[in-house]
Amino acid sequence: MITQAVLICVLYGQEYHVEAHVIGTYGLCPGCWSRDTLREYDRLESAKRHARAAGNADTLTLAQWLAPVAVFNGKCGLCEVRPFEEIGILDACGGIALDNCFPVCRSCRTHLVHGFDLAIARIQGYLQADNP
């Protein structure tokens, strides 16, 4: 007996049918499925879990997240040089929401959080020391 299940695609909301024994946890229909999209879905869901745990907003949808990823061509939105590696958050208390998230590389995220002052002071300390 083949048991069919009807699922709702998490990307654009259309129904799709799968055999019950292949139901995964992902929820992308065959038309939307790609390794890249799946990776972004995982990234987004993980970020939303952390936001929820911290009591912040978690309203960003997969389609809303894929838009800036495409606009910045898969690059970091701050430096536009390196491939992005994380979901950047503009306002630390703003959560994972449409007006608060952009693709960012790890280096730029570090500088966004800590600023450049500490890094500049470190370099100045090095350059001004009496190096042999």
Per CB under 5 A, does 62 bind Zn ion?
no
Residue from 24, 25, 3, 6 nearest 14 by CA? 6
Among 29, 44, 62, 87, interactor with Zn ion by CB under 5 A: 29
Task: Specify the long-range contacts of residues 108-117, CB closer than 8 Å, at least 24 apart.
Answer: 108/76, 108/78, 108/79, 108/82, 112/78, 112/88
Per CB under 5 A, does 69 bind Zn ion?
no
Task: Write down the least CB distance from residue 63 to Zn ion, Å.
Answer: 10
Query: Per the structure block, which two tokens stand in for 109?
Result: 């995220």
Per CB under 5 A, does 47 bind Zn ion?
no
Candidate segments 35-43, 66-74, 99-107, 123-131, binder of Zn ion by CB under 5 A: 99-107
